Amino acid sequence: KRLHIANNGLDGHGRRSFDLGRLPGFITVPMNACQINGMASSIYPNHLQKEDAMKAAELLQTIIAEMHGALMADVKELTQEHLNWKPAPGANPIGFLFWHLICTEDEFVHRLLEEPPIWQSQKWGEKLGLEASGHGTGFQEPEVDKVASLPLAEVMAYAESVIQATDEYLRSLDD
């Protein structure tokens, strides 16, 4: 059994919440029927036995996998015009934000693994003709625009590599 905490639709900040209930094998329980115990690393509804609970590592794996799936599905449909679009002058375009998110995840996970990020180890900067190191913090507008203009298929391939590494890391965790 897997737990789905029923909190679908928009959260209190207008952001889309993830619907884990769409995943096979999940049961749905209302948010107020759940006990959350971070110290014991489990989340479970009051009427289920603790041994039926989803462990924290499994919950994290599931949530991150759902987030990755939604992100990749949404981004793959975008055109280069969408990727370069800015809501206001000086704002970051979608293509840059996608790359920045993936680079940040890459650096974070590989820092935990005490390994160089995939961006460096697999020489993605060279593959994409981008001299940038890091994950885009402090970039000036021309650098941001160049990142947003990278071929989506190539950035998606880099993202797939990062997602695979993240998944492997999360599978190595236990409660």
> Chunked in runs of 10, what are the mean pLDDT values of the chain (175 residues)?
39 43 44 36 43 70 91 92 91 93 94 93 89 74 92 96 95 80
Q: 146: which residues sit within 8 A by CB, 6+ positions away?
A: 130
pLDDT at 106: 95
CB of 17 closer than 8 Å to CB of 31: no
Q: How far is CA 156 from the centre of its chain?
A: 13
Buried b / exposed e along 1-30 (16+ C-beta atoms within 10 A) = ebbbbbeeeeeeeeeeebbbeeeeebeebe
What is the residue whose two structure tokens read 């992100």?
Answer: 71
Nearest to 118 by CA among 130, 129, 133: 133
pLDDT at 57: 80
CB of 119 closer than 8 Å to CB of 132: no
pLDDT at 41: 33
pLDDT at 8: 41
pLDDT at 116: 94
Greatest distance between any 2 Cα atoms in the chain: 56
Q: Helix %, strand %, coil % for the chain, to 5?
A: 55, 15, 35
pTM of the model: 0.69
pLDDT at 37: 36
List the Cα angle 93/163/56 in 5-degree steps: 115
